[in-house]
Amino acid sequence: MIELDAIVIGAGMSGMYQLHLLRGLGLTVQALEAGSEVGGTWYWNRYPGCRFDSESYSYCFSFDEEMLQEWDWSEHFAPQPETFAYLRRVADKLDLRKDIRFATRVVSAHWDEADGRWVVRCDDGYAVRAKYLVTAIGILSIPVIPDFPGRGSFAGASFHTSDWPRGGIDLSGKRVAVVGTGATGIQVIQEVAKIAGHLTVVQKEPNWSKPLCNAPIAPDEMADIKARYADIFESCRSSDAGFLHNWDPRSTSDVSDAEREAFYEQKYGERGFAFWLSNFADLSVDEKAARLASDFLARKIRERVTDPETAEKLIPTDHLFGTRRVPMETGYYEVFNQPNVDLVDVNADPLRAITPGGMTFDSGFVPLDVIIYATGFDAVRGAFDRIEIMGQSGLTLREKWDDGPVTFLGLQSHGFPNFFMIVGPHSGATFCNVPRCAEQNVEFIADLVGHMERRGLARCEATVAAEQDWTKQVLDQADLLLAGKTNSWFTGINHNIAGRNERKMLLYTLGQQFFLQVCRETVEQDYRGFDMAPARSAA
């Protein structure tokens, strides 16, 4: 069996950077990647309309100044093909592919206590052993499709958005259904509506969505961005969630009604997540504040959608603005003014069955050529559950987390020595502009591994006390937030997966500053919370 120092599972943005840093320590490292190219999220998700919701220049790798100066972003929110090209270019530049085994899905990872090694096995029989195992498997990487009656009988093309046909699919003039109206559904609906002969949008609960306000980046603007990269990353670092947006320190009730309306109007017209993440600071905790912001958005929907009945169907009633991930839109609401688009609210008009020719709702049959499932993911813990990760006592991580993930800093779980997670459950990188905080996770792990190697340490494991304390903090904080009391993938709810119906926060919501501070203190106090031990003597 091949013997290495470290294995990284996944070659998306986090895995690529982790491979680069661990190699830089002089270790032998291999990344194992299920796809046939680097890119992770940006490799798998190639549906029309797929693009950043974070400003492009706040999302890219920050560590390579040369690459920052070399790469031009064409739009403030770049489309997927551009991001995918960017990541391929980074892989070329850092010569990463020679240490990535593609088309390789890891099925198990078992800790060999006697040798202090992880034994990793893949779906094609490939097996490898290493002292360190790092997962970079993403928090939204396991697609889920509801088990609709008759789903398999459909005679046309049907697929999940993250499994878009490789060779593309011509939707022009076709009768298409899109199921799901989360961030993905909204992006894909906007594009499909432009070309489909007829589009049926199948909606369970609507989401509060806000204009993306995208625009091309002119050459002189890009030159200015390049000159300001240090400031851009510093702004992200000093914000709560790693974005170029941060809370307004005032409370919603600090201002008059007229001032509030003007403030909302201004934020509605600003780029990206402005209306969410630079809103009044009490938006995330105060129901009245969230209701006022929701009411403003409801008025916008009513203004933009011509048919009042359709407008009401598009206004969420089961949750308030900001309590779930806010989808970004560009002309989404106007799609429902088009004569070729119908909205079906399955709460009022249930989907009874899928047949070879289409969908049968209570109200009647809709003939279809294509069904697109934008029905989300087994978020955050799903990718961990799919690999049999077995620790020192023979317990698997899936079994240990039966009642919900238990981690220290989202980076380690007790009983799984030398096993590190990038953007693991309860990591500071989960509620964050992911690359910004994932870079921190990657650097923390590389520094820790370097520390172990320099001191000749054989194993590192989070203590029980540290992980219990961390998990409690994360769950206690969630109770204070409106998001913690709302059904969404943030709180681990997915009605399409057995056992995912009890709310338990999967994200870290205390803010990046606090997370960074805890990580810094942990290191300064000689990796407090991690048990580190030298190799057992041969005697």
Q: List the one residue from 39, 182, 428, 492 that touches ligand NAP (CB under 6 A).
A: 182
Integer Cα distance of 148 and 156 in angstroms: 16
Give least dist CB 336 to ligand NAP, A.
15
Does the footprint of ligand NAP cover residue 111 (CB under 6 A)?
no
Does the footprint of ligand NAP cover residue 427 (CB under 6 A)?
no
DSSP letters for 78-146: -BHHHHHHHHHHHHHHTT-GGGEE-S--EEEEEEETTTTEEEEEETTS-EEEEEEEEE---SS-SB---
Contact between 185 and 178 under an 8 Å Cβ cutoff? The reply is: yes
Piece of the chain touching ligand NAP by CB under 6 A; list 181-189, 260-268, 281-289, 298-306: 181-189
| Per-residue mark of binding to ligand NAP, 128-157 (x: CB under 6 A) | ------------x-----x-----------
Cβ closest to ligand NAP, residue 130 vs residue 140: 140
- Which residues are CB-neighbours of 428 under 8 A, at least 6 positions away? 409, 410, 437, 440, 441, 508, 512, 514, 515, 516, 519
Q: List the one residue from 185, 272, 358, 428 that touches ligand NAP (CB under 6 A).
A: 185
Does the footprint of ligand NAP cover residue 342 (CB under 6 A)?
no
Q: List the one residue from 14, 30, 181, 214 that touches ligand NAP (CB under 6 A).
A: 181
Does the footprint of ligand NAP cover residue 13 (CB under 6 A)?
no
Q: List the one residue from 131, 325, 381, 500 that touches ligand NAP (CB under 6 A).
A: 325
Integer Cα distance of 106 and 104 in angstroms: 6
Subset of residues 65 to 94 that bind ligand NAP, contact rule: CB under 6 A: none
Phi, psi of 410 (to 5 degrees): 70, 5
Collapsed DSSP state (helix, strand, coil) of residue 352: strand
How many residues touch ligand NAP under the rule CB under 6 A: the total is 24
DSSP structural state of residue 413 = -
Give least dist CB 291 to ligand NAP, A.
20
Give least dist CB 369 to ligand NAP, A.
19
Integer Cα distance of 54 and 277 in angstroms: 12
Does the footprint of ligand NAP cover residue 429 (CB under 6 A)?
no
| Closest chain position to ligand NAP (CB) | 182
Does the footprint of ligand NAP cover residue 489 (CB under 6 A)?
yes
- Which residues are CB-neighbours of 58 under 8 A, at least 6 positions away? 232, 233, 236, 242, 243, 244, 433, 436
Does the footprint of ligand NAP cover residue 43 (CB under 6 A)?
no
Does the footprint of ligand NAP cover residue 245 (CB under 6 A)?
no
Contact between 16 and 38 under an 8 Å Cβ cutoff? The reply is: yes
Cβ closest to ligand NAP, residue 46 vs residue 51: 51
DSSP alpha helices (H): ranges in 456-500?
Answer: 464-480
Subset of residues 220 to 239 that bind ligand NAP, contact rule: CB under 6 A: none
Integer Cα distance of 379 and 402 in angstroms: 15
Would you put residue 70 in left (φ > 0), alpha (ψ -120 to 50) or beta? alpha
For ligand NAP, the binding residues (CB under 6 A) are 51-53, 140, 146, 179-185, 187, 202, 204-205, 325, 346, 374-377, 489, 496
